[in-house]
Amino acid sequence: MNNNMTSSFTPTDTLTGKVAVITGGTGAIGLASAHRLAKLGARCVLLYNSESSEAAAAKAASLHGAGHLTFKASVTDSASLKAVADQVATQCGVVHILINSAGYTQAVPAHDLEALTDDLIDDILKVNFRGVMATIRAFMPLLKKSEDGLIVNISSIAGFTGTGSNLAYVAAKASIDVVGDALAKAFAPFVRVISVSPGVVDSTFVPGRGADFNEKVAATIPLRRIGTVDDVAAVVQACATTMRYVTGTRIVVDGGRHL
């Protein structure tokens, strides 16, 4: 690796020639991010876990441009992640952007400690914290190789407000934010690390939350609506293009819900 900085971190309006790996790449935020990055010229690698290979391939085919890839990999299986990273290295040579958007949660009120079982705590932390770390570990060599890498961790305002789907999810997102800061310092200037923290987003991520919940919450948000997946994807795009002199921080995209 060249010890001299090869990037001036100036804004750009193109991602031509860049390779973006996205966990949860066929999910709501992951796929929306892929669409935005692909339109700017990026080659996207979608990692998926819970759907068919045919469905994942169809989503990749819907992206602008060509050469996009899909791989089945669980973020809780480090060997699987390493195997995919090896395949990406063979087919792409390098990775410029890693978006960690795979996640899992379950709604449990903060006062219901009995419902927040040991198994649920372990599952939430395993996917939302350990899974992110395992993915970063697997792809860091390829990100460092680019000498201008970017990691975007899809976090949540739960990580700093303490209000979220459950307390284990709060802990996982807070951990990712703080560890992301540490990683940003450890791997600078070759890899930037940013947390993007949505509030309530119109998706099926939290089971059981529907239109009634969304309408009730929207009335309490300063900007008077809940977020969309494209609101979040737009910030991801900005991290890769216009906000290049940014690392080791959290970008909140919640319409002011945290206020």
- State the catalytic residues: 169
The residue behind tokens 């692909």 is 38
Measure the CA–CA gap between 178 and 158, rounded to whole angstroms.
13
Strand ranges in 73-122 using DSSP code E only, listed in sequence order: 97-100
Residue 160: how many CA atoms within 13 Å on its side-chain side? 19
Instruction: Please enumerate in sequence order all residues whose Cβ is within 8 A of that of 205, keeping only pairs 6 or more positions apart, or say none.
Output: 27, 28, 103, 105
Residue type for 12, please? Answer: T
- Give, as one character, the DSSP assignment of residue 42: P
The shares of helix, strand and coil residues in the chain, as percent rounded to the nearest 5, are 40, 15, 40
Residue 47: how many CA atoms within 13 Å on its side-chain side? 29
Q: What angle do CA 160, 139, 149 make, to 5 degrees?
A: 75
**At 22, is the secondary structure helix, strand, or coil?**
strand
Residue type for 82, please? Answer: K
